[in-house]
Structure 1
């Protein structure tokens, strides 16, 4: 890779990474600013209902959406042939993130408004699309860390759904006592997916290498 190619890769790699890191920083700030919210028993979306933490949560969500879009566009530039499915999933995740930012949730665990329903299903889109995109990119670029984080995100999603109040097994596993923590770990894992996916830009996979045909070269 020459200097010009390295500069091009950096253009697409680092903004996506910055978006993910800004999202994590904003989420941590919201937790500190709204100390009265119990992270074990409340959803992370509840921070958007408080004036002191709402700007940080909305800003962090938008930052992660922008990072996802940037990674998707970067993939279209550096690996257009084989990254189509992952790009679609990243864009779907970005749309879901923007919708969760635009439509605030209802007070957990009850959803009673149309905006709350949009928020809930948009979050479901995010939690599904991003780890799937991460898994595809992890296989494509032979990135074990990205594959592991993507699988971890799916495991956390399953645990969160099981622990969420209203689940058939929630009371059996005492889910209401810690389902908020599971969601926070899930959000962090999805941010890690976007971060690691952005760092894949410019990486080489065996599938991207054109094998030599053993033909003589002209000099």
Structure 2
């Protein structure tokens, strides 16, 4: 039975990592295709819905990332992580936030906040807070990994910086000049955290 569970973990983990890598491709394409149209420093990733095929491509990115994160959670649970523990709930919130942000797109820059835009904003706040905390708890209570812990802490600070930029407490008076930059740094750290979690699981499996 233990061998079967190990084989299932081995099968799911490559799929999760493939999903992580695959989720990067559409958004990288959008950055290249919209060069000169949108600023990666000022505009958020969500603003790419306003370029050609942006809604579909961003949806692929968000849903692929959510599915990959759920796959990683499945691997962690099969490795012994409590299924009803705080980490599972936090990673579930991260995946749910990604899905909600894809279903409810943001508003155009300068437009009044719509229902969809409000849901998008709060979904982003939830997911950006949930994953760093989940990573930190994993590194403290389940897989003692300094790399996971460092990326979790860095992503936590990045999340705070991005949220403060929404409140116009950093960057400039209009709170938007560095908004895109803060978000891209945050996403970079979150991806690093997810890949670090996958690597930590592999090391744990090899050592067991």
Range into which the TM-score falls when normalised by the shorter chain: 0.7 to 0.9
* Equivalent residue number for residue 58 of structure 1: 59
* Equivalent residue number for residue 201 of structure 2: 201
Task: Indicate the RMSD between aligned Cα atoms, in angstroms.
Answer: 2.7
| Aligned residue among 151, 154, 165 for 2:153 | 151
Partners of 1:90 and 1:132 in 2: CA distance? 9
Question: Which segments of 5 or more consecutive residues in structure 2 lack a partner in the other structure?
Answer: none
**Deviation readout 1:165-203 (Å, 9 max, x if unpaired):** x4245436x853322111011122222222222333354
1:12 aligns with 2:12: yes
Could you state the TM-score of these two structures normalised by the residue count of structure 2? 0.85
Could you state the TM-score of these two structures normalised by the residue count of structure 1? 0.81
Which structure features the higher share of helix residues? 2
CA shift at 1:126, angstroms?
A: 0.9
Partners of 2:154 and 2:170 in 1: CA distance? 21
Question: Which segments of 5 or more consecutive residues in structure 1 lack a partner in the other structure?
Answer: 210-219
* Equivalent residue number for residue 122 of structure 1: 123
CA shift at 1:153, angstroms?
A: 0.8
CA shift at 1:27, angstroms?
A: 1.8
Structure number with greater Rg is 1
Partners of 1:144 and 1:19 in 2: CA distance? 24
In 2 relative to 1, CA 71–119 (structure 1 residues): closer, same or farther, beyond 3 Å? same
Tell which has more relative contact order, 1 or 2 (C-alpha 8 A, sep 6+): 1
Partners of 1:70 and 1:189 in 2: CA distance? 19
CA shift at 1:127, angstroms?
A: 0.2
Q: What is the total number of aligned residue pairs between the two structures?
A: 204
| Residue aligned with 2:176, SS | helix
